Amino acid sequence: MEDINFIIITGLSGAGRTLALKVFEDHGYFCVDNLPPTLIPIFTDLCKQSMKKIDKIALVIDIRGRDFFDGIFENLKSLREKGYDYKILFLECEDDVLIKRFKESRRMHPLALEGRIVEGIKSERRKMAKFKDAADYIIDTSYTTPAQLKDEIINRCIKTKKEEKLLINVVSFGFKQGIPLDADLVFDVRFIPNPYYIDELRPLSGKDPEVKNYVLKWPETREFLKKLYDMIEFLIPLFIREGKAQLVIAIGCTGGRHRSITIASEITARLKASNHKVIVNHRDIDKDRSEKVGS
């Protein structure tokens, strides 16, 4: 497809199509599962005409389309005739492994609703043979872990630009309001002396220089920042290797208004100085100003 990175995910039921789709979604693809093949040309035209440019698309197409599936190659041929290009990722797996997966999940094979799983797999292999022959990428998932499959898909199928980086979200919060539900890493900075108990600092926040200077003047604060930054730098390439597209780092104090904001801002500044893609959010900065418990 012209100007659009377009991939069709297909293969055997139980071979990992759902996981594959999630990998593409994590890398910014517009993803659709089980789109009827007859709608593919219409869908691609709509994506190209969209005001919000959609330049990366991943579709799961498989035998769940039933009667629609039989005409899939005619629909794909029409795409090429329109000047659109696409790649096909086919997920393969050995029969005994597929049978074990279906038994463990207690799900029925889509082609064996009234029969044995093994018969459904055989029937699906026959129906999918042409797709496998036409595939640009074939990945056997028989003995791969989910993490290994993610790596394989990223390395073989996803064109990542060199400038693309892990998106890091640094969130300051107050433990009184609860830990952010989407946090990957949580750090407690309540060991730092509390500015709340300094009368002139209480109405201010960690954004104000007076509070910042108070929080950062302690040796333990400076040592903590150094060790925290070093650990995050160590972890970033490991998260990227695992296929992670976003990292949420939560830094909490009691109320989320003084210490956590200062530390979150400092870490954000250091990461930006190292050319990382970072967004900071002070979740609880305006909450509970009148409460007696400090931050």
Residue located via tokens 């709340």: 196
Q: Is the pLDDT of residue 108 over 80?
A: no
- Residue 293's pLDDT is 43
Phi and psi at 109, nearest 5°, equal: -70, 135
Architecture of domain 5-157: 3-Layer(aba) Sandwich (3.40)
Q: Is the pLDDT of residue 218 over 80?
A: yes
Q: Is the pLDDT of residue 290 over 50?
A: no
What does the pLDDT look like over 115-157, one tens digit per residue?
688 888 888 888 888 888 888 888 999 888 888 888 888 888 8
Place 113 in a pLDDT band, splitting at 50, 70 and 90: low
Average pLDDT over residues 18-42: 85
Place 87 in a pLDDT band, splitting at 50, 70 and 90: confident
Average pLDDT over residues 6-32: 89
Place 287 in a pLDDT band, splitting at 50, 70 and 90: confident
DSSP β-ladder status, 167-174 and 277-282: parallel
Place 52 in a pLDDT band, splitting at 50, 70 and 90: low
Place 100 in a pLDDT band, splitting at 50, 70 and 90: confident
pLDDT > 70: percent of the chain? 89
Q: Which residue has the higher pLDDT, 83 or 252?
A: 252
Q: Hey, what are 290's tokens?
A: 């009148």
How far is the C-alpha of 180 from the C-alpha of 264, rounded, in Å? 14
Q: Is the pLDDT of residue 68 over 50?
A: yes
How far is the C-alpha of 120 from the C-alpha of 127, rounded, in Å? 11
- Looking from the CA of 285 toward its CB, the CA atoms found within 13 Å total 15
Q: What is the pTM of this model?
A: 0.56
- Residue 204's pLDDT is 93
Provide the β-strand partners of residue 6: 57
Domain extents for the chain? Answer: 5-157, 167-282
Q: Is the pLDDT of residue 2 over 90?
A: no
Q: Is the pLDDT of residue 234 over 70?
A: yes
- Residue 116's pLDDT is 80
Place 242 in a pLDDT band, splitting at 50, 70 and 90: confident
Provide the β-strand partners of residue 139: 91
Place 72 in a pLDDT band, splitting at 50, 70 and 90: confident
C-alpha R_g of the chain: 25
- Looking from the CA of 203 toward its CB, the CA atoms found within 13 Å total 2
Residue located via tokens 């003047």: 217
Q: Is the pLDDT of residue 78 over 90?
A: no
Provide the β-strand partners of residue 170: 249, 280
Average pLDDT score, the chain: 84
The CA-atom distances, in angstroms, between 279 and each of 28, 170, 216, 265 are: 17, 6, 21, 10
Place 212 in a pLDDT band, splitting at 50, 70 and 90: very high
- Residue 252's pLDDT is 96
- Residue 292's pLDDT is 47
Q: Is the pLDDT of residue 66 over 60?
A: no
